[in-house]
Amino acid sequence: MSVRLKWLTPAQHRGGQPSGPGIYLNLHEWEFTKHFGGTLPGAGADRYLKVPGPMVLVLGPVMGGFYVLLVPVVGVATALYVLGRWAGRAVQAMGRDAIVLIPFPNWVPGRAYLTGLQSKRKKDAKQDTGQLDAELKKLAEEIEKKRKKERTG
């Protein structure tokens, strides 16, 4: 069998709802309201808890203590957040500027450069050109010989 203590279980009410006299805690604004009867202030979205007198004596100082302790912590955390974002944006801007300063003389937009080092390709290209030049010279000599034969023959 459970014992239910009425003063430990506050009743919930909504704004604009008729209620009896007592002390109510507005859950939206975290504010105690002394009410003398009639309808509770606020819209229907505002929720209230009817808090017994002994609980107000305990909750009031506890809520005030949390306020005193948490407001400076929130202020310092907000300041650190703002400074961190400012520093992060500054570092990001410096990085963006540094990337622009790095020279990429052979870079072509749209090309992947996944086949290896550029210097190796240049060496291969020089060797290929040397071989092509030799073959072209041979072809030119053969053409010249055939032309001479045609002229003489």
Per-residue pLDDT reduced to its tens digit, 84-132: 999 999 888 887 766 665 666 666 667 666 665 556 566 666 666 667 7
pLDDT confidence of residue 45: 80
Read off the tokens for 127.
Answer: 């060797």
Residue 144 pLDDT more than 70?
yes
What is the average per-residue pLDDT within 129-137?
78
pLDDT confidence of residue 1: 46
DSSP 153: -
Give residue-wise pLDDT tens across range 10-57. Answer: 667 788 888 888 888 888 888 888 878 788 887 778 888 888 878 878
Global model pTM greater than 0.75: no
Question: Residue 15 and residue 17: Cα distance in Å, rounded?
Answer: 5
* Domain residue ranges in the chain: 8-51, 117-153
User: Do the Cβ atoms of 33 and 23 come closer than 8 Å?
Assistant: yes
* H or E segment and range at residue 14: strand 11-14
Question: Residue 42 and residue 25: Cα distance in Å, rounded?
Answer: 12
CA 67 to chain centre: 30
Read off the tokens for 146.
Answer: 């055939």
* H or E segment and range at residue 59: helix 53-101
Residue 3 pLDDT more than 90?
no
Question: Residue 20 and residue 34: Cα distance in Å, rounded?
Answer: 11
